Structure 1
Amino acid sequence: MAEENFDIAIVGGGVSGVYCAWRLKQTHPGKKIAVFEASDHIGGRLLSVRPPDIPDMVAELGGMRILPAVQPLITQLIHELNKALPDDEQITLYDFPVDENQNIAFLRGIYLRLADFTQNPELVPYQLNFIDQGQSAGAVIVNAIEQIVPGITNPALTEEQRREMAQSAEFGGVPLYKQGFWNVLLRVLTGEAYHYAEDVGGYDSTLCNWNAADAIPWYLSDFGVDPEYKGFCNGFQQVPLALAQLFEQQGGDIRLASHVSQITLKGDGFSFQVNGSPATAQTLILAMPRRSLELLTPDSPALQDARTQKLITSVTARPLFKLFTTYDSPWWRNTGCTVTGTDGKSFYLPVEAGRSVTDLPVRQTYYWPKSDGKPATEGHAMLLASYDDGDNTGFWDGLRAKRRQPRLPGRQVAELDDPFIGLDDNVMRNELDWHQYKAPRMMTEEVSRQLTVMHSLNYTPRVRNAAFRDWGDDPFGGGWNSWNIGQKSWEVKHAIVQPSDLPLYICGEAYSDAQGWVEGALQTAGYLLEKLGVAPFPRQAA
């Protein structure tokens, strides 16, 4: 079989991979550059699908929002892409709601409204001390962080200044980077306050035991003072798809369903296999998270040196599970509450936007907006019925088969108990994508049961369609990655970009300051491009 030769080979079709490909091809139009993606889609952990019969909604099975105020790279990228995209393909955003006062918190068997945590703290079923009582979950953690690193919550500080403070800080006479976030939090919080913050916050892995020097500035950026999120009208996956489209228009080559293996040194470059066929590249870029790199390592001598392995294992993959359900109507609007205005008049506030939380395994439920960001008030509607990121992801294991198995390219639904085998060729691609991730019947029935309890109802209407994604499955190993205790991330994030003297480079969200966000993928891709003499963004004409 003839050997293919490339100037630059990029393994991984997520944001960092196609972003590098786009900029490298812009800068070096004559070079032969290819992106090899093992799955059947571009985007990595960005996966946007339209549910059947609801054309004005997009389910985000992966990443779903950005924070423009603290994420300049993705904000600038959207601006650059919109300059190159036609009017009918512009990337547009909407205000992404989170906590609405009338939304539900079902915790420790007690039904509350989100407003109760600050307005009626006597109803909250946690034994909080006088300092924490009446505080939101986020405020409890922010106040604890201020005790750990005094001054770091000053709103006048920049993101970089906060990171520098945390990196140089000590707590209890020990450098903060040598301690776990959970460990230091429990030095300044009661156990009840910690569980309150975790349960009400809706996330488990964010407060777990990862490197405290990274967790603290990360938490302040993501969940600090009144974060303002933006969602994507046509789905977040539009960003990597646009990058891939522009790359191909410039003559770049994208190959889906292309499994790379057996990376070895060959002269000044590398040889490798693509679906069993030989190929070479002068420069090799691995745009992959830790688990994907680990899967590639056993038969790839180029990755097996001790330094590279030490850098790869400097982070830990964290779980993430999402389950979407659709209905004939937005039944949750009837679970709102009556409030009294300042004029003394009462009025009804429906539950229709943002999220509700519970300590049941569903954890967070988002009342999904239409593509323009407006709530669904009638007709077919959708929930992000369960959004889990911690131990609760394991609950759903018993309701599915073959956890941690990779989804292979094509219509891989055979593991489901009601597969859509032999779908009509006229089925829209977006609907086919939805059915590729169709939730099993037992999982759908269980999430319906929990939603019924969470919303204090006798029943919830029949689910029309359901789709899920467990990012703990290979080759991702998790929905995001966190720095391990004891790692000097500010050194590792630069060292791993080129872990040896070889022309082999690594980038992605896993080894960044913004772990769990596309911003992190763009940050490390920018470091990589600079090593190759390429500006992260096109330079503006003088």
Structure 2
Amino acid sequence: MKHPDTDSKLRKCKIVNIVLAVVIVVLILVICIAIPLVAMDDGDDDKKSNTTGLTGRTLPFARVVQPCNLSSLDDADVQDVIIVGGGPAGTFVGYRLKTENTSPQYKVLLLEATNRIGGRLYSVDLPGIDFNVAELGGMRYIPSSQPYVEEVIKEMNIPHKPFLMDEENDARPYLFRDIFVQQKDLKTAGKAAYRLNKEEEDLTPSEVESLMWEAIVPPDQRHLDPDERMTVDGFSLLHYGTVNTYNLANVSDDAHNYAIDGNGYSIAYSNYNAATSVGEGNATSGGANYYRAPTDGMATIPIRLAEEFEKSGGRIKKNTTVTAIDECEFLDGQKVYLLTTYNYETLETVQYIARKVVLAMTRSQLKRIHWDALWTSPKRESVDAVISHQATKIFFAFEEPWWRKESLQYLNLTHGRSISSLPSRQTYYFTAPNPAVSNRSFIMLYNDGRFARFWKALASDSFNKFRTSNSAIFPMTDTLVKEVVKELALNHNTTEDVIGQPYFGWIMVWDNDLLPRYVEGYGPYMPSESWALWAPGYDYTEETTKIIKLDENQNIFICGSVYSLQQGWVEGALEHADTMLTTYFNIPSYLSPSGMQAMKMSFYAKRRVPFYP
């Protein structure tokens, strides 16, 4: 028999449990309501919400707001188009959209993650140098085969000048496996430094290249479309990587290494789509006036496009990275897109709404966005149809051009480049034009592939910092400077004393494996590959258009040089953006019929990817 108090205690426990359950439910509701409200962009007044839990300047890639609660919005809250990315493609899209539709009611907003316009075009001034900028990214263009760049430069009235290469200088130095030679001796360099077959011993690196390309596809087939070219074991070259097909050339392994070392571009021999490499040869052999460059730097191109975009009524917000894109509907059934962003200036999360979205981004940047189509679209494999590559640029300024000293006069170096098989790879020379006023000059080292990571390891806070440098993202270190001076001495057959010490240094690493972060003294850093090449197994003539609209049911578009037919730093970005605009925005092509024909000829005549930086 139960005691009377037992039933009473049980009733009290049940009541307490019910009360606790109610309290828990209320707390959950309060927490949900307390999540920051969606902040919308309306004109110049942004309604912003503080992001809970983000106390430092870290980059949030988790969603911190509940998306798609759009019942209270009206038309004034919506952008017609939001462009993500302030590089050449993004600024070109903005400029074209607003100059074709100048109505103030047509609202176009460009969001840029960093504090500058330019993307992978990044021009800076070196202290004490006033005759040339330092190009941390793309540094030149080819007027004869890059009609988009040429047309933008003409329309924007951008001053330009020759980018001198001096490829005909027979005295310029090469270093092959610690053996120093000059260009005039290249036919003997191979057998001195490499184990070559007898028939390979008297070839230059570029002649070995030609031998390989011609074996893959004979010259009389280069005018054909990729799927019409020769096959290997019954399969189109589209299915092979370049390295997979080298056995066709019947060249020795060391001859292949000789060609790589003499070309100066390691990634040019990565295993990318064999059909794109056909007949490529040495893309930097166009003579002294083959290249040109804007007088104030390549970044002038996107900067001028951005200026004209704003003059036409477009708006730009910097320091703003997109972390998520969600599809939503108004109460009337209109489909819109909700972009969740993080603003580095205010340390706040802000959301924007657009009817259309253009993602003018590299592959690595694209994959950092929470966007369902990247995982659910039937065309999602197109995102990985390219291979990303790393590159490094190192700049050193000297009080005088040591390469013009008396002991090195025989090399006849004033501009152009030298090539080495050491990690420094290519050295470019920029010599003071008026030494009576100032003799300060500078060099640039370019290297890519595995060599880019060699230098990145030395640009670390683990080492002592070099005394003068503006390299905020990647510190210039004493260890790195010491290694460069040592290699320069070997590359030029001289001593480290002749090279001397630079008075200033700067390094830029283009590496998509790094994480985004905020760098004090610089601002937001969004890592990116230097450039990309089409991967084996993909018909790039189809993939380049397929990728533009990854989800056929969404008005979200992708464009940029990474997925273009002119992969590199600039031309492909404009070409791919133009294709997107003509196909999905009803905007006529930017090129004249003759310019369009020049672009097509540059592709089918095989002056295609890569246009080297």
With the length of structure 2 as denominator, give the TM-score of the two structures.
0.74
Contact 1:365 1:383 (8 Å CA) reproduced: yes
Question: Could you say which residue in structure 1 is the equivalent of 2:489?
Answer: 452
1:272-283 equivalent positions in 2, closer than 5 A: 272-275=339-342, 276-283=349-356
Question: Could you say which residue in structure 2 is the equivalent of 1:305?
Answer: 376
Amino acid in structure 2 at the alignment position of 1:518: V
Please give the alpha-carbon distance, in whole angstroms, between the structure 2 residues aligned to 1:187 and 1:285. 42
Contact 1:102 1:113 (8 Å CA) reproduced: yes
Secondary structure, aligned partner of 1:453: helix
Q: Choose the corresponding residue for 1:65, options 134, 140, 158.
A: 140
Please give the alpha-carbon distance, in whole angstroms, between the structure 1 residues aligned to 2:435 and 2:364. 38
- Match status 1:517 vs 2:569: yes
Q: 1:432 to 1:22 in 2, by over 3 A?
A: farther
Amino acid in structure 2 at the alignment position of 1:169: M
Deviation of the 1:191 alpha carbon: 0.8
Deviation of the 1:93 alpha carbon: 2.5
Please give the alpha-carbon distance, in whole angstroms, between the structure 2 residues aligned to 1:220 and 1:123. 21
Amino acid in structure 2 at the alignment position of 1:442: T
Bigger relative CO (Cα 8 Å, ≥ 6 apart): 1
- Match status 1:401 vs 2:460: yes
| Unmatched tracts of structure 2, length 5 or more | 1-37, 42-77, 330-334, 343-348, 516-525, 594-613
Question: Could you say which residue in structure 2 is the equivalent of 1:326?
Answer: 397
Q: Choose the corresponding residue for 1:176, options 237, 246, 269.
A: 237
Contact 2:191 2:202 (8 Å CA) reproduced: no
Secondary structure, aligned partner of 2:581: helix
Q: Choose the corresponding residue for 1:257, options 286, 295, 319.
A: 319
Q: 1:492 to 1:517 in 2, by over 3 A?
A: same
Contact 2:466 2:478 (8 Å CA) reproduced: no
Contact 2:226 2:238 (8 Å CA) reproduced: no
Deviation of the 1:397 alpha carbon: 3.2
Secondary structure, aligned partner of 1:40: coil
Q: Choose the corresponding residue for 2:450, options 391, 407, 416.
A: 391
Contact 2:213 2:277 (8 Å CA) reproduced: no
Contact 2:40 2:350 (8 Å CA) reproduced: yes
- Match status 1:125 vs 2:193: yes
Deviation of the 1:312 alpha carbon: 0.9
Number of aligned pairs?
A: 487
Question: Could you say which residue in structure 2 is the equivalent of 1:440?
Answer: 477
Question: Could you say which residue in structure 2 is the equivalent of 1:363?
Answer: 425
Contact 2:88 2:574 (8 Å CA) reproduced: yes
Amino acid in structure 2 at the alignment position of 1:311: S
1:177-196 equivalent positions in 2, closer than 5 A: 177-188=238-249, 189-196=251-258
1:27-426 equivalent positions in 2, closer than 5 A: 27-30=100-103, 31-82=106-157, 90-99=158-167, 100-118=169-187, 120=188, 124-152=192-220, 161=223, 164-165=225-226, 168-188=229-249, 189-216=251-278, 219-220=280-281, 222-223=283-284, 228-267=290-329, 268-275=335-342, 276-296=349-369, 299-334=370-405, 348=410, 350-368=412-430, 379-384=439-444, 386-401=445-460, 418=465
Please give the alpha-carbon distance, in whole angstroms, between the structure 2 residues aligned to 1:210 and 1:199. 18
Deviation of the 1:433 alpha carbon: 6.7
Deviation of the 1:506 alpha carbon: 0.3
Contact 1:169 1:175 (8 Å CA) reproduced: yes
Question: Could you say which residue in structure 2 is the equivalent of 1:533?
Answer: 586
Amino acid in structure 1 at the alignment position of 2:387: T
Deviation of the 1:45 alpha carbon: 0.7
Please give the alpha-carbon distance, in whole angstroms, between the structure 1 residues aligned to 2:367 and 2:99. 31
Contact 2:471 2:508 (8 Å CA) reproduced: no
Please give the alpha-carbon distance, in whole angstroms, between the structure 2 residues aligned to 1:44 and 1:11. 11
Aligned residues: CA RMSD: 2.8
Please give the alpha-carbon distance, in whole angstroms, between the structure 1 residues aligned to 2:90 and 2:453. 30
Percent identical among aligned pairs is: 27
Contact 2:382 2:547 (8 Å CA) reproduced: yes
Contact 1:78 1:239 (8 Å CA) reproduced: yes
Q: Choose the corresponding residue for 1:470, options 505, 509, 519.
A: 509
Please give the alpha-carbon distance, in whole angstroms, between the structure 2 residues aligned to 1:272 and 1:29. 24
Deviation of the 1:98 alpha carbon: 5.0
| Unmatched tracts of structure 1, length 5 or more | 83-89, 339-347, 403-414, 421-430
User: Which deviations, in whole Å up to 9, do the C-alpha atoms of 1:60-103 show, x marking residues without a partner?
Assistant: 11001112222222112212222xxxxxxx33121431533211
User: Which deviations, in whole Å up to 9, do the C-alpha atoms of 1:203-251 show, x marking residues without a partner?
Assistant: 111111111012225x348357769222332211111111111111111
